[in-house]
Each structure stands twice: as structure tokens, then as C-alpha cells.
Amino acid sequence: MNMFGLSILDLIVISLFFLVLVVIGLWAMLRVKNQEDFFMGGRRFGKFVQLFAAFGQATSSDTGPSVATTTANNGAAGVWASLMMLFATPSYWLTGIWYRRLRVLTMGDFYTERYASRFLGGVYSLMASISMMLLLTVGFIVMTKTVLVMTPKALPEIPVAKVFTATEADMVDFAANSELSADETLEYVQALKLERYKSRDFASLTAADVEQMDYLKALNPRSNFSHIPKNWFIWITVLFVCLYSIAGGLEAAFISDVFQGVFIIILSVILLPFAFIEINNIYGSSGIMGAFRTLHAQLPESYFEIFGSPNTVDFTWYYIIALGIMATINVAAGANQLVAAGAARNESAARFGLTYGTYLKRITTVFWGITALAIVLLYSGKVTDPDNLWGYASRALLGPLNMGLIGLMIAALLAALLSTADMMMLATSGLITKNLYEPLFPGKSESHYVTVGRILGTSIVVIAAFIVMRSDNLFDQLKIFWEWGVVFSAGFWMGILWRRTSRKAVWYSILSTLVLFFVLPIALPSLFPDLRSNSYLLKTTQPFVIERQYTSTPMDVTLNQSHISAWEKLPEEEQSLTTKPSVLQLGDSFVKSYNIGGNRIFWTHGIQVNPETSKLEGNGLLSLELVMLDAMGWDLSSNKYAVNETIRILIRTFFPFLIIFIFSFLYKQTPKELSVLDRFYVKMKTKVLEDKDEDQRELEISYANPHRFDHRRMFPNTQWEILKWNRGDTVGFLLALGMVFAIIALLYFLVNLGGTILG
């Protein structure tokens, strides 16, 4: 029996998964007595729960499916797209303790307390809520794309010769022999065309080919179509998110994260043994080492270049460092970070859980990358859209077993989504309830505010679902989330570290950053639509060619044969414009050309074809800072894409800090601000005690003597509130830093296993 392409066992596994979550939610609901219980789980969690809570909230936006996509496009180097945050993770050991010592329910409370301004706390809460909803959409996008691929419609059989020559009558015939509509058939043929172009060596393409390939890239046609309507699936997911986390609050979310963490780990490894078995069956190898050797024997050498791959030439060391700096600064000011660490029962659990729960995600990412290499070997020739590779492989490897493993994979993907969704939803619900609703309607009962939090949490998930229904570009959503944090992150860091930071300076930083980097870039193209098609603003970086020498593998030989076949089918006039590819034999040394450049400069989402006008248009936000630099005489088209992006990222990261620094000297703090500083900074130096009554008594001692811990300041007699590191800070940070190198070593070892190391 099948329903929506799923067996009865698959449906049972998925149903049991949801049933457990609902039971957890109802159990936790009975323990919710006040806002701290609902939004912080009563701060009852130790290291084990904190570990999985941090793991869960970190694991959604770049789970296995997106790693498979980047690996299919770039080889093993594509894993860096999901590991770029690796270099920011050691800082969590230092910031994790801040969140617990703040002793607040939301990050909005920090802004309210530190700057003596409820209004500032409310504004932060509004902006951070937008940020959380954007991150929530990322999880929905990955989940939806992958599950829809696992419930596919039957595709038409289209002869290779017809891919470029199909007529309207052919389209009708193709559609009649499949489950696709006429429009879906046309889109599928366009996807096949694009794949054919991309599989050819760039040097063999004519100018007309390149133009057509660029057009199809901008059009981005689908190659897989599902029995399950996308919107229907999204709303079912929304329903279950709300059923358990809205009912039980953060305790339900955290306890379910432990349960879901097991599923996420399953997600990391479930495909690998089946993929290796399939590789061994096809290629006659045996065992794990045999599968690894086959990977190296069959895949092109370029797929095993972790560092310096030409496919990832734009991910330079300086670009990765710039992203790491932005991530370190922006993530620390995230409302979800405070919730993840602030709910711990003590400081040790807070910093351990936040740091090593995130590292657990980094480790699973490495295994997703290895799995991706295996499924690329097996199925890259059968899937035109790499976004669908993970779902296709899951269907092909797990479906024939009829053991409910497709259901288990869907449950694991749901776990990855829900473990992030519940955190984002509750963090946002807490911000709006505590820092927007309660100041407007004070004096209500705790149960009233909890009810409001539940209603608001539901609304937040619903809004995120609507956003996904309008846009499903994963990387675009993720980049908006990363960059949105620059609006308020400087106020967090400077408020913690520099006593002189004034409320007015933070306001100027927020307003100027918001207007320059978001309001004007959105408003100007909306008010003046012609800007999107302006030839100057459509300027791109200058293209250049990189050549690399490799030894051919069977996949190289197959691709070479397809290139020769494609060339032979060209009209004579087009053949005369290019050189016929040389015949490549197994083991031959050959040079491959990579066309680099031609990237957008001024538009955050790139340049795409408008389907209504068939003209190129800038998409996303207009990067005014780069427009101004280029207009001042710095020709950005002569730079590599990575250079321009690095400049843009660094400007956005440090501009708000500069504004705060300047205006904190120009505008002194008000008496109201000065009155809270001693209490705030001595609180941040007072260690958290697990017993709430004892902790409060210790705080009162500190409040009575604001200079109690001044001996711990690194720069006494200054305005800087940076503390000296103790043994726990130093050892913990060095261990966390060591994890960075250990994970890189693990990636390098596994990628090379069966190749040059043991070859």
C-alpha cells in the first residue's frame, strides 16, 4: 500500500515520531507555571540536555541535503560552505558564560537593562524577531525540497538527441508518457539542457552556448516534481511544530531536542553504509576500504581537493576570515544564543553545551560530506538539480528495502528542522511577549503572558511558512540572516565590553546601519524599478580562466565522450568556431579549464532573467557601499568576486562599531544610564549559583559593593570591562580551538582515505 509515494511502514515511522513529540509537549505543559518556565524551562538543564539543545538549534540550515548540493557542485571543497562557521565556534566558550550571568529571559532584556531603555529593548526585539523568522525559513526550505524529491512523479523518457531539438508536439508526447503536466515537462526539458551545458568543458562551448547556459542558470528550472503539494506539506509541518513546542515551551523543546538529536545523528550516517554497499555491488569492490578506493578511482581528482579547489576559488582565505568575523560578532547577539545557554542550570553547563553541541554539528557535517561524495558517484548523472541529490539517493537506496527507512529519513529531516524551529519560535515569542507586549500591557498574570507567548509563537511559525511559499532560495535566506545581525550586534558587544557605550550612540548605530544597508537598498529599486535593469548596476566581475592538470578517471572519460558527441552534433559553422575535444583515455594526463568570474557586484541575490521580459535584472538588495566605492573610481569589476564580497562584509561588520565609538565620545551617558552601570557590570562578574535563593543573596552582596571584582579587570582605571582569563577560560578556549584543527584533520583524513594516503 502506498500513499504519496510512501509505504505504510514509512507512514507508521513518521506518525510515531510525531506522537512522541506531542506527548513530550503535553507532559511539559503541565510543568509550566510562569514565564521563566515557558521561555527558559525553569533553567533546569544540565550539560547533557544543553549539549543536544545547542546541537539541535545549530542543525537545520545546512543539513545533509545542502552539503550534498555543494559537494556535487564543488567536490569535497564544497563542505566548506557548511563549515565556514567552524572558525567562530571557539568564541562560544567565552560568550556562553555571558548569557547565563545576564540572568534575563530575553536578549531584549539585556538592551533594556544595560541602556536603561525599554524602548531600545523593544526595538531590538522587533528586529531580532525578523532575524529569527528568516532563519526559521531556511529550515523549512531545506526540508521541503528534500522530502518532495523523495515522493517523486514519474519523469518522461526524453532521448538525448531531443533535449535541444524538442518541438511543442514533442512536449505533448513527453507529458502523455509521464505524470507531469505540460508546463512541468517544458521545465524538465530546460533543466536537462542546462545539465548538458554544465557537463561540457567550458573551452568547448561556443559564444551562443555560453549565452544560452547563462540564461538557463538564471531561469533555474526544476528537474524533479512531487506528488505532495509543497504548500500542503509546509502547513502539516507547521501544525506539529506548534502542537508540542507551543504547549510545553522551552522544556518541551529541549527534551525533544535530545530525542531529535538521535535522529539527526542517524541522518548523518544512515545513507553511508547503503551507498557503500551499492558502490561495492556496482564496481566489484568489497568492504569500507574498497568503497573508499572506488571513490578515488572513479571520481575526478578535483573532487578530492579540500583546499584550493578551482570550483571554490571565490572562497579565499580572506573571504572565509571575513565571514568568520561577521559570524562571530552577529551570532553572539542572537536571541536564540541567549536562550540556548541562558536556560542552563549553571555556567559550566551553559558554555559546555553551547560550544560542544555546536561542534557536534560540525562533526556530523564532515560525515554528510563523505556521504555526499558517495551519492555523487552513484547518482550525479541521474539528477540534474544537485539540490535534489540527497532526496533522490534516499529514495533509490532506502526505498527498495521496504523497511520504513524512507520514513526514518523523513523523520530525521523533520528532527533537524523542528529542533531549530522550536528554538527560533520560542526565542521570538519571548522577545515579543516580554519586551513588546508586557510593557504595553503591564500588570497581567503570569498565565496571561504565557498564553500570549503561545499565540505569538504560533503566529511566528505561520509567517515563516508564508515567506517560504514566496521564496525558496536557501542561500539567499541564509545570507540575509547573517547580515541582518549587523544592525544590533555592535550594541551587544560594546555594551558588554565598554562602559562608556551610550544609548544615543547605539541608536545612531542602529539607525544608520538599518538605513544604509537595508532600507535604502530595498526602497530605491522599489521606487525606481529601472535601477534593476540599469546597465551600470548590472556590471559583473571580469571573467578569467584557471587551468588545472589531472589524471583521468572513468567519470572524466565518460564526460569527455559526451563532450565529443555534443561537438559532433553541432552545425558546421559552429564547429568551425571551436576545437573538437581531444579523445581522453583512462589514466591520461589532461588539462581542464575553469571559467571564473562574471559574478554580480552590486546585487546581493545576483542577476537573473525576468521571465516576463526575458531581460537580465538585478535581484535582491542593492549594495550601496559598493556602488559608492565604484563611483569614486575604484573599478570593482577588476576585482575577484571574493575581494568585493570581503570588502562589503567588512564594511557592514565594522561600520556600526565605528559609529558607536565616535558618538559615545560626542554624547555622554545620561544620569539614568550611569545609575545602572555599576549594578550591571558587577552582576556580569558574579558567578551564577544553581540555587536561585543563594544566587540572589550573592548578587545582593555584589550590588552593595560594585567594586567587589575590580581586581579581575584586564585594564583597570579605564572604561574597558574586559576580564582577565582564569584557568577555566584559558584551558577551555584552547581545547575549543583544538577542536577546529581536529575537525579539519578528520575531514582531510576521510576524504583521502583510500586515495593518496593508503592508495
Give 504-515 as a DSSP string: HHHHHHHHHHHI
Find the helix or strand (DSSP H, E) in which 188 lies: helix 182-199
What is the spatial distance between Cα 732 and Cα 109, in angstroms, rounded to a whole number?
28
All residues at 6 or more sequence positions from 490 whose CB lies less than 8 Å from its CB, including other chains: 329, 506, 509, 513, 656, 657, 659, 660
| Cα 247 to chain centroid, rounded | 27
Q: What does the pLDDT look like over 299-338, one tens digit per residue?
A: 888 788 776 666 565 567 788 788 888 888 988 888 888 8
Amino acid occupying residue 578: T
What is the spatial distance between Cα 353 and Cα 341, in angstroms, rounded to a whole number?
7
Which part of the chain has CATH 1.20.1730.10?
Answer: 25-149+230-493+743-752
What is the pLDDT, as a whole number, of residue 702? Answer: 95
* Cross-strand partners of 525: none
What is the spatial distance between Cα 710 and Cα 716, in angstroms, rounded to a whole number?
7
Question: What is the pTM (predicted TM-score) of this model?
Answer: 0.79
10-residue averages of pLDDT along the chain (759 residues) = 68 81 72 70 79 74 66 78 83 92 92 94 87 71 68 73 70 71 78 75 72 78 73 75 66 71 73 89 88 87 74 68 85 84 89 91 87 86 71 80 78 71 77 89 85 80 73 51 80 96 96 93 90 89 76 80 76 71 82 72 80 77 91 88 88 95 92 93 94 92 93 92 93 95 91 62
What is the pLDDT, as a whole number, of residue 759? Answer: 40
**DSSP code of residue 600:** B
Matching residue, cell 583546499: 307
Q: State the pairing for strand pair 544-551/6-7.
A: unpaired
What is the pLDDT, as a whole number, of residue 61? Answer: 44
Cα distances (Å, whole numbers) of residue 272 to 129, 196, 278: 37, 28, 10
What is the pLDDT, as a whole number, of residue 385? Answer: 65
The answer to whether 66 and 144 have CB atoms below 8 angstroms apart is no
The answer to whether 653 and 329 have CB atoms below 8 angstroms apart is yes
Instruction: Considering only the C-alpha atoms of the chain, give the largest distance between any 2 of them, rounded to a whole number of Å.
Output: 90
Alpha-helical (H) ranges within 44-84 are: 47-58, 64-74, 80-83
The answer to whether 601 and 630 have CB atoms below 8 angstroms apart is yes
What is the spatial distance between Cα 361 and Cα 369, in angstroms, rounded to a whole number?
12
What is the pLDDT, as a whole number, of residue 474? Answer: 47
What is the pLDDT, as a whole number, of residue 2? Answer: 58
The alpha-carbon radius of gyration of the chain (Å, integer) is: 27
593 Rama class: left (phi>0) / alpha (psi -120 to 50) / beta: beta
What is the spatial distance between Cα 131 and Cα 575, in angstroms, rounded to a whole number?
52
Find the helix or strand (DSSP H, E) in which 38 lies: helix 35-40
Find the helix or strand (DSSP H, E) in which 10 lies: helix 8-29
CATH number belonging to the domain at 25-149+230-493+743-752, selected among 1.20.1730.10, 1.10.599.10, 3.90.800.10, 3.40.50.620: 1.20.1730.10
What is the spatial distance between Cα 623 and Cα 516, in angstroms, rounded to a whole number?
9
What is the spatial distance between Cα 45 and Cα 649, in angstroms, rounded to a whole number?
36
What is the pLDDT, as a whole number, of residue 592? Answer: 75
Give 626-686 as a DSSP string: HHHHHHTT--GGGS-HHHHHHHHHHHHHHHHHHHHHHHHHHSPPPHHHHHHHHHHHHHHHS
